Amino acid sequence: MLGAAEIRQLAERLDIRPTKKLGQNFVIDPNTIRRIVAAADLSENDTIVEIGPGLGSLTLGILEVVDNVVAVEIDPRLAQLLPETVGKHAPGKNLTLINQDALRISELPGAPTALVANLPYNISVPVLLHFLQNFPSIQKALVMVQAEVAHRLAAKPGGKEYGSPSVKLAWYGAARLAGNVGRSVFWPAPQVDSALVYFERQKREGDPTEVFRVIDAAFAQRRKTLRQALAGWAGSPAEAERILVAAGINPAARGEELGIEQFLKVASCK
C-alpha cells in the first residue's frame, strides 16, 4: 500500500497540485484504506469499479482482496500514472483504466459486482445514482463521502437529514453508515469530516424516472404540504390531493414523512 511519503513523491514527480474543483483529497493513511476495504465486504470473485482512483491508494487496497478493478478517473495525469503504480505494487492483478468523466460513462467492461470509492465530494450523490442506474450488475457499494452527505444518504423517513438523496438511494436498495473518517488521513486535508456508507441493492422492477419526479417535487420546498408541493407535478393542487388520497396518503403530510414505497404508490396513482 502507499504511505504518505510515497503519495507526495508520486504527486511531485508529476507536478500534481491537487485541485478542489475535482475534489482531489488523497488518502495517505494505510489503516483508513484497510478500514474502507474491510467495510466493503468484498469477496475474491468480486469485480470492482472504482470512481476517482487518484494516485491509487484505495485501488491497491482493493487489489489485495480481488483480482480485477475497473477504475474511472477524469484527470489525465492521474489516469496515466495509475497502471504503472499498480504494475509496481500489485503485479499480476488486472486494472482497466478509463480516463473519462464518471458522470458521462454509460458502458463498463466486465460487469462489475461492487462499487468502492472515495468519491469526489462535489459530485458524490449524482455519480453514485448514475452508476446504480446504469450498471445493474453492481450489487453492493462502499463509498466515502462528506459526513453530512453520508448521513443524508443513510437517513430514514422523519428526520431533517432525510431528503431526496435518501429516498432516491432507497429506490435502488438499503444504505447504512459504516464509520466516520477524520480529516488528517487526507492530503490535502479537506475542510469537512467524512464518513463511509455501505449499500446493498434490492431487486426493483421498472424505471425510476417518474417516482424521482415526485421525490424532487416533494422536497423542492420542504415546508409545503404534499398537496401544495406536488401541485406542479400533478397539474393542480386538487389533482395532487386526488392522487394522494388514492395512494392512501394524507394530503397535509410533508415529503419527509414518506418512505420510498409510499412515493411509488403516489407515482402509480397519477
Residue whose CB is nearest to ligand SAM in the complex, by number: 52
Q: Is 75 in the site for ligand SAM (CB under 6 A)?
A: yes
Q: What are phi and psi of 198, to 5 degrees?
A: -105, 135
Amino acid at 127: V
User: E-assigned strands of the chain?
Assistant: 26-27, 47-51, 68-72, 94-98, 114-118, 140-146, 173-181, 186-187, 194-201
Q: How far apart are CA 194 and CA 192, in angstroms?
A: 7
Stretch near ligand SAM under the rule CB under 6 A, chosen from 46-54, 148-156, 194-202, 233-241: 46-54
Structure-block grid coordinates of residue 15: 507536478
SS3 113: coil
Using rule CB under 6 A, residue 29 touches ligand SAM: no
Distances (CA, A) of 42 to 38, 46, 192: 7, 6, 28
- In the range 89-148, which residues lie near ligand SAM by CB under 6 A? 101-103, 118, 120, 123
**Nearer Cβ to ligand SAM, position 120 or 208?**
120
Contact set for ligand SAM, span 141-180 (CB under 6 A): none
Chosen residue from 1, 10, 25, 40 binding ligand SAM by CB under 6 A:
25
* Closest distance to ligand SAM from the beta carbon of 172 (Å): 20
Task: Find the binder of ligand SAM among 24, 85, 113, 225 (CB under 6 A).
Answer: 24
| Residues forming the site for ligand SAM (CB under 6 A) | 22-27, 51-54, 57-58, 72-75, 78, 101-103, 118, 120, 123
